[in-house]
Structure 1
Amino acid sequence: MTLSNSAPPAATGAVSGFIHRHFRHFNSAVVVDAAQGWTRHLDNGGRMLVTLAGAMSTAELGISLAEMIRQGKVHAISCTGANLEEDVFNLVAHDHYERVPNYRELSAADEQALLERHMNRVTDTCIPEMEAMRRIEAVVLQEWMAADARGERLFPHEFMYRILRSGALESSYQIDPRDSWLLAAAEADLPMFVPGWEDSTLGNMYAGHCISGDVKNVHTVRTGIEYMISLADWYQETAPDASIGFFQIGGGIAGDFPICVVPMLHQDLQRPEVPLWGYFCQISDSTTSYGSYSGAVPNEKITWGKLGVDTPRYVIESDASIVAPLVFACVLGW
C-alpha cells in the first residue's frame, strides 16, 4: 500500500474545503470517505434514509439537516419519538432553553433544583417543560381528540406534519424556521418512521390522555408494527428504481428498526428479489463489540442479510453532534 501526497479533490465551500484539506487519515479520513460515498450514491441515482438516535434535535442538527432535506439529499428519516418532538420543542421555545456548561459537576441537589424549575436536562441543555412540552401538548391534544372523534388514525409524524402545515404554531416560532428539520420534512412530505414512539414525552402524554379518557381509542395514533409495514411498502416501491442508502446517527431503535426491513422481506416474506441496502454508514461513539447493535461493525450485518459483500460501508467513531454536520457540509458543498 502506498500513500499519495496529493491533496484530496477540491471542495466548493469553506467548510468542506477545510475538511478535504485536513481530514486525511484515521478516523477523520472516514468522514471524507463517507461523505464522498454519499455523493456517489446520489449521483448514481440512489436514495438515502437517515436515522436519528440520541438527542440530535436538541443538539440543533436541524441547522444542517433541514438543508439536506430541501436539497434532496435525504429521502426518508427514521427517528426516535424524542427527536421528532424535540425539533418542535426547539422551534417554539428556543429562547427559554438554558445551557449548563458545567453539567459534569452537578450534584444531585443541583439536579433536583432543575427539576423544581421544570427544566429537563439533556447533557448541557435544559428543555423548559412549560414553554416547550406543555405548549406542544396543548396543540397536539386537540388534533388527537379531533382525529379520535372522527375515527381517524394517523402516525405520530403525520400529526406533527398536520400541526406544522396548519400554521397553528407560527406565532410561537423562536428560531429561523429554515433551521427546523421537521418543518422541512413536512414541507417535502418526507417519508418518516418513528419506532418506539411511546418511549417519548408526547408518547407518555398520549398514554395519559388515553387513561384519562380524553382520547377514547388508543389506536388513534398508529405505531410499531404499522410503521414496519409502511417502511416495507416504501422500500419495495423505491428500491427497484433507486438503490437505498442507510446513514445511521447513533445506535438504538432508530437504526435497528429500519435496517431489519430487508431481511424481513427476504426471509419472512420470501421476496429475495428485493435489493439490499446500497450504502451504509454509522456514526457512533459506542465501543466496537460484536453482538452489539450499536457497537457491531457493518460486516456483521452481512450475515443477517442487511448488507452485501459489495455494499460501501463506513464507521465513524466519534460524537455525532460534531461529525454529522461536517458530513452534511461535505455533501452540500458548504
Structure 2
Amino acid sequence: MNTKGAITNFIEEYFLHFNAASLVDAAKAYEQQLNNGSKMLVSLAGAMSTAELGKIFAEMIRQDKVHIISCTGANLEEDIMNLVAHSHYKRIPDYRDLTPEDEWDLLEKGLNRVTDTCIPEEEAFRRLQVHIYALWKEANDKGERYLPHEFMYKLLLSGVLESYYEIDLKDSWMYAAAEKNLPIVCPGWEDSTMGNIFASYVLKGELKSSTVKSGIEYMTFLADWYTKNSKKGIGFFQIGGGIAGDFPICVVPMLYQDMERKDTPFWSYFCQISDSTTSYGSYSGAVPNEKITWGKLDIDTPKFIIESDATIVAPLIFAYLLDM
C-alpha cells in the first residue's frame, strides 16, 4: 500500500532527468540514511530563514529528520525576526528594476532588502536587540559564557517575545530547534546583525567579548558531537555554499589528520543544492569529488549536487522526506 503523499508521488512520477532526477536520488538516499540509523547535518546558507523555509524545515526538526544544524548568523536571527515582525516585512517583486535611488529610499524607510523581501529594522532588529542584550548582560555580569545559538534558545524559551508573535509558532524552525535543544553550529556569527550589535556593546565597554563563545569553541563542540554520534554515520545536506557548509565539513579531516584519530569515519552522505557554477577556484561550485582529496568524503560516499534554486529544491526534498 502506497503511504506516500501527493507531492512525493508527483516527484517520483515526473522528476526523471537532469537536476530533477538528482533531486529524487538525493531525497531517496537521505531517506535511506535515516532508515540506516545515520544522523544528518543540514547546513543553511543564503537567506533561507527570510525565504520562510521554517514553514517546512520546522517539521523536519520535529520529526527527527535533522540532528544538527550549521547555519550563518543571519539564518539564526532572521527566523526569529520573521516570527516577531512578519506583518512589517515588505515584498518587492520588481526588485530587479530598482534604481540606486529606489534602494536609498528603502534604507531611509528602515527597510533592509534581501532579494525580493525587505526586513523592517525597527520591528525586527531593534525589537530583538532589547531582549537579547538583557541576556548578554546577565551572563556577562555573572561571568557566564554561552554559544550564540544558546542565547537565542534562551530568548525563545523565556517567553519574553510571545506578545510579538505574528506567524504560527509551528512555522519557526528556531523555536522547533529550541524545544528539542537541537545542536547548532553557527560559524562566523560576528558578521550577523546581532553579532554586529554585540560588538558595538564590547566597543562601548558594556560587555566582554568572551561572554559569547567563539568559532573555535563551535569547532571543538562539533568535534565532540561528531565523535559521539558517528557510529552509524553522519550525512551532510548542504543548502547553498559559504561558511555554513565549509566550516562543519572540515571537522572530519581535523579529527582524522590533526587529532590523528584514524578511526574517524568520513561523512556518510553528501548533497549540495547550489546555483554556483562549477569553475576554477570556486569552493561553493566545487564538485563533491574534490572533497575526497581533502579527506572529507570517502570514495563510496553517496554524492549529489543539484544545480538549482534552493528555495525551490529544499522544500520539495523535505516534502518527500515527510511523505507529503
When normalised by structure 1's length, the TM-score is: 0.96
In the aligned structure 1, how far is the partner of 2:42 from the partner of 2:279?
23
Name the aligned partner's letter for residue 37 of structure 1.
A
In the aligned structure 2, how far is the partner of 1:127 from the partner of 1:60?
12
Q: Classify the secondary structure of the residue corresponding to 1:277.
A: coil
Which of 222, 225, 229 does residue 220 from structure 2 map onto?
Answer: 229
> Is contact 1:290–1:297 with CA below 8 Å preserved after alignment?
no
1:279-294 aligned at under 5 Å gives the runs 279-289=269-279, 291-294=281-284
Is 1:185 the counterpart of 2:152 in the alignment? Answer: no
Q: CA deviation at 1:166?
A: 0.8
Indicate the percent of aligned positions where both proteins have the same amino acid: 63
In the aligned structure 1, how far is the partner of 2:311 from the partner of 2:236?
18
Match of 1:244 in 2: 234
Name the aligned partner's letter for residue 210 of structure 2.
H
Is 1:327 the counterpart of 2:317 in the alignment? Answer: yes
Q: Classify the secondary structure of the residue corresponding to 2:119.
A: strand
Q: Deviations over 1:215-248 (max 9, x none)?
A: 1x111001211100000000001112x2100000
In the aligned structure 2, how far is the partner of 1:114 from the partner of 1:17?
43
Q: Deviations over 1:103-133 (max 9, x none)?
A: 0000000000000000000000000000000
Match of 1:74 in 2: 66
Q: CA deviation at 1:26?
A: 0.8
Q: Check 1:305–1:10 CA distance in 2 against 1; reply closer, same or farther (3 A cut).
A: farther
Q: CA deviation at 1:10?
A: 5.8
1:311-322 aligned at under 5 Å gives the runs 311-322=301-312
In the aligned structure 2, how far is the partner of 1:10 from the partner of 1:285?
33
> Is contact 1:164–1:186 with CA below 8 Å preserved after alignment?
yes
1:85-124 aligned at under 5 Å gives the runs 85-124=77-116
Q: CA deviation at 1:292?
A: 2.3
Match of 1:269 in 2: 259
In the aligned structure 2, how far is the partner of 1:321 from the partner of 1:214?
39
Q: Classify the secondary structure of the residue corresponding to 2:118.
A: strand
Q: What is the aligned length?
A: 324
Which of 247, 270, 274 does residue 257 from structure 1 map onto?
Answer: 247
Q: Classify the secondary structure of the residue corresponding to 1:248.
A: strand
Q: CA RMSD in A?
A: 1.0
Name the aligned partner's letter for residue 61 of structure 1.
L
Is 1:219 the counterpart of 2:230 in the alignment? Answer: no
